[in-house]
């Protein structure tokens, strides 16, 4: 019986989670190996693994992986360093919010991918352009989410701090910032996920290295096994960085879980 | 000279969406002597919390002024420690760090701080919990920490806004004894807001009864029960007489509140 909102046992949860992956791959194997779709359009799981192995061993694909990881983290760090202080300032000081919020809200909807042609004109097709695509895609999102979180800091904590003698400056540094630190870290984790999307788009256009480049290159040779392998690698790295980020947050902010 | 002087303090809130402005507090005058324990008793929505927040400097009065030691109150400050009804411990700080927050804001060095913090941990009986996060504490323990945090700053006056309102009855009784015990030993000027009649009498040397909204002071009842007080006092005839009198006072106001709300 499925009772609404009734928790599932941890063991069952793992089994169910793995089961879907198994079913998914089984279905994929069935339609490809069983000859239900044309090989040209979709490689089967086995040749995908074979293609992937060959990519890694012969084509030094791991270099592409490293360069993509560097681009994601580089662009993301750049965006964070700019966005976190601005977001906190907007959340904490209402005039700053009134000044920047309309523009940031507008800029948030500018698609990062549409900036690629411009960014290529400005920064060429080197690393800087890749970093800027990720920067443009992430920075406004981070600013806005953090501004909202900081703006909703518990008022009673702020009031308590004032009655304990905190100055306006002390409130920002020793109440607003620590109170929102876990939420800010959580926001960064979320946006890092989006950054992975932007990097691939950046690498599909005017690039000569990276996972995205490999994917677009494979398309012209109809190497669907390689494309799928590249996509899976992105998924795995995303998953790993997500786990690492979560573990870091748990370690940094034990008080928010306790 | 009075420790605290409230002179003609009133509060009117602007009308919502172009509506009529709402008067929460009629002009209130009150003089509080040093080391007095005053409870402000009133039905919910009578403006007693608003009055306390004005004394704290967290809200500005529409008219009148508040003087502490002859100086006008303009904004919140460490001379007026406050304990809130909601749990306001800083969740990212341990019990000890919470208690030391005000001292740290003052720039007191770590070593000096830790002695003071330890003495207040001891005062509220939280030994062994110094390094716990607030989330790991019961409601009663959190409020004990909040009291210690306010007292560690050595404020001129301690303001408490229904501090035990969210606690269960048994815990509340124990907390009343704890706070009263501290006051009996250390002497402090205290302003304590509550809607609990028994609590108001048990804690106070003077009960200020407030009327229904818009609030004003309806009566000012001295409580001449001897100290130190023990919980058995609550069943004594003198206590019952006071309780009967205040119950009658408050009941009328509560009914008035109920009528204005249904109208």
pLDDT digits (tens, 9 = 90+) for A190-246: 999 889 888 988 898 888 899 999 999 998 888 889 999 999 999 999 889 989 999
Of the candidates A155, A237, A153, A150, the residue with the CA atom closest to the CA atom of residue A187: A150
Q: How far apart are CA B7 and CA B61, in angstroms?
A: 10
Q: Is A255 on the interface with B (CB under 8 A)?
A: yes
Nearest residue on chain B to A171, alpha-carbon basis:
B105
Asked if residue B203 is part of any domain, the answer here is yes
Q: Give the per-residue pLDDT at B260.
A: 67
Number of domains in chain B: 1
Q: Is A155 on the interface with B (CB under 8 A)?
A: no
Question: Which contacts of B99-102 are long-range, i.e. CB under 8 A and separated by 24 or more positions?
Answer: B99/B145, B99/B148, B99/B149, B99/B152, B100/B152, B101/A161, B101/A164, B101/A174, B101/B149, B102/A164, B102/A165, B102/B78, B102/B149, B102/B150, B102/B152, B102/B153
| B92:A181 CB<8 A | yes
Q: Is B100 on the interface with A (CB under 8 A)?
A: no
Global model pTM greater than 0.90: no
CATH of A40-256, one of 3.30.420.40, 1.10.3720.10, 1.10.287.950, 3.30.460.20: 1.10.3720.10
| A163:B106 CB<8 A | no
* CB within 8 Å of chain A, chain B residues 50-79: 56-58, 75-78
Q: Name the percent of chain A lying above pLDDT 90.
A: 66
Residue A162, preceding peptide bond in cis (omega within 30° of 0): no
A-chain CB neighbours of B146 within 8 Å are 160
Q: Give the per-residue pLDDT at B22.
A: 85
- Quick one: DSSP state of residue A69? H
A164–chain B nearest CA distance, Å: 5
Asked if residue B38 is part of any domain, the answer here is yes
Q: Give the per-residue pLDDT at B194.
A: 93
The per-residue pLDDT for range A58-107, each reduced to its tens digit, is: 888 999 999 999 999 999 999 999 999 999 999 999 999 999 999 999 99
B82–chain A nearest CA distance, Å: 6
How many residue contacts between A and B have a Cβ separation below 8 Å?
77
| B88:A258 CB<8 A | no
| B81:A159 CB<8 A | no
Which of B91, B153, B159 is the closest to A164 by Cβ? B153
| B58:A163 CB<8 A | yes
Length of chain A: 258
Q: Give the per-residue pLDDT at B261.
A: 61
Asked if residue B222 is part of any domain, the answer here is yes
Q: Give the per-residue pLDDT at A75.
A: 94
In whole angstroms, how far apart are CA A157 and each of A151, A178, A236?
A: 13, 11, 40
Q: Give the per-residue pLDDT at B216.
A: 86
Of the candidates A215, A231, A206, the residue with the CA atom closest to the CA atom of residue A133: A206
Q: Give the per-residue pLDDT at B193.
A: 95
Q: What is the mean pLDDT of residues A1-21?
A: 91
Q: How far apart are CA A208 and CA A203, in angstroms?
A: 8
B72: which 2 tokens? 């006008």
Q: Is A165 on the interface with B (CB under 8 A)?
A: yes
A180–chain B nearest CA distance, Å: 10
| Residue B62 belongs to domain with CATH number | 3.40.50.300
Q: Give the per-residue pLDDT at B251.
A: 83
* CB within 8 Å of chain B, chain A residues 186-215: none
Helix, strand, coil distribution of chain A in percent, nearest 5: 80, 0, 20
B63–chain A nearest CA distance, Å: 22
Asked if residue B257 is part of any domain, the answer here is no
State which residues form the domain around B53: 4-12+21-87+157-250
Residue A184 has pLDDT above 80, yes or no: yes
pLDDT tier for residue A258 given thresholds of 50, 70 and 90: low
Q: Which residue has the tokens 């804001």?
A: B105
Q: Where are the domains of chain A?
A: 40-256
CB of B72 within 8 A of CB of B21? Answer: no
| A163:B56 CB<8 A | yes
- When computed from its CA atoms, the radius of gyration of chain B, rounded to whole angstroms, is 19
Q: Give the per-residue pLDDT at B13.
A: 87
Q: Which residue has the tokens 């959580």?
A: A186
Asked if residue B59 is part of any domain, the answer here is yes
Q: Give the per-residue pLDDT at B252.
A: 81
Which of A160, A166, A254 is the closest to B88 by Cβ? A160
Pick out chain B residues at pLDDT < 50.
263
In whole angstroms, how far apart are CA B193 and each of B51, B241, B244?
A: 9, 21, 19
């Amino acid at each position: 019986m499925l009772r609404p909102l009734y928790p599932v046992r941890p063991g069952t949860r793992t089994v169910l989670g793995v089961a879907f992956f198994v079913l998914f791959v089984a279905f994929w194997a069935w339609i490809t190996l069983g000859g239900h779709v044309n090989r040209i359009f979709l490689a089967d799981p086995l040749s995908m693994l074979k293609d992937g192995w060959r990519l890694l061993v012969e084509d030094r694909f791991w270099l592409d992986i490293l360069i993509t990881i560097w681009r994601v983290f580089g662009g993301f760090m750049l965006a964070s360093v700019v966005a976190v202080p601005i977001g906190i300032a907007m959340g904490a000081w209402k005039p700053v919010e009134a000044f920047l919020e309309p523009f940031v809200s507008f800029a948030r909807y500018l698609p990062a991918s549409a900036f690629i042609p411009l960014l290529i004109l400005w920064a060429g097709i080197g690393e800087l352009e890749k970093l800027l695509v990720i920067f443009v895609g992430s920075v406004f999102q981070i600013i806005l989410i953090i501004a909202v979180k900081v703006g909703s800091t518990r008022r009673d904590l702020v009031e308590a701090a004032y009655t304990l003698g905190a100055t306006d400056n002390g409130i920002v540094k020793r109440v607003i910032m620590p109170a929102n630190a876990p939420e800010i870290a959580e926001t960064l984790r979320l946006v890092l996920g989006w950054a992975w999307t932007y990097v691939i788009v950046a690498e599909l256009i005017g690039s000569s290295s990276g996972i995205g480049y490999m994917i677009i290159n494979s398309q012209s040779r109809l190497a669907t096994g390689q494309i799928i392998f590249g996509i899976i690698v992105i998924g795995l790295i995303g998953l790993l960085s997500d786990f690492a980020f979560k573990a870091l947050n748990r370690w940094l902010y034990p008080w928010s879980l306790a | 000279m009075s420790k605290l002087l409230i002179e003609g303090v009133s509060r009117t809130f602007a009308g919502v969406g172009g509506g009529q402005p709402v008067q929460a507090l009629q002009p209130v005058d009150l003089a509080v002597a040093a080391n007095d324990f005053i409870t402000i008793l009133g039905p919910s929505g009578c403006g007693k919390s608003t009055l306390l927040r004005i004394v704290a400097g967290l809200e500005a009065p529409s008219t009148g002024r508040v003087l502490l030691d002859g100086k006008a109150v303009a904004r919140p400050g460490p001379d007026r420690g406050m304990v809130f009804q909601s749990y306001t411990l800083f969740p990212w700080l341990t019990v000890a760090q919470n208690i030391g927050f005000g001292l740290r804001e003052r720039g007191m060095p770590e070593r000096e701080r830790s002695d003071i913090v330890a003495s207040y941990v001891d005062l509220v009986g939280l030994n062994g919990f110094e390094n716990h996060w607030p989330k790991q504490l019961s409601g009663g323990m959190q409020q004990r920490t909040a009291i210690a945090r306010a007292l560690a700053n050595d404020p001129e006056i301690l303001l408490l806004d229904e501090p035990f309102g969210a606690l269960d009855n048994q815990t509340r009784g124990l907390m009343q004894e704890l706070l009263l015990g501290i006051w009996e030993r250390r002497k402090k000027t205290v302003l304590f807001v509550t809607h609990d009649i028994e609590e108001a009498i048990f804690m106070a040397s003077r009960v200020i009864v407030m009327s229904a909204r818009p609030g004003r002071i309806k009566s000012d009842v001295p409580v001449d029960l001897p100290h130190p007080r023990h919980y058995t006092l609550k069943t004594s005839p003198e206590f019952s007489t006071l309780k009967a009198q205040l119950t009658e006072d408050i009941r009328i106001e509560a009914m008035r509140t109920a009528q204005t709300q249904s109208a």
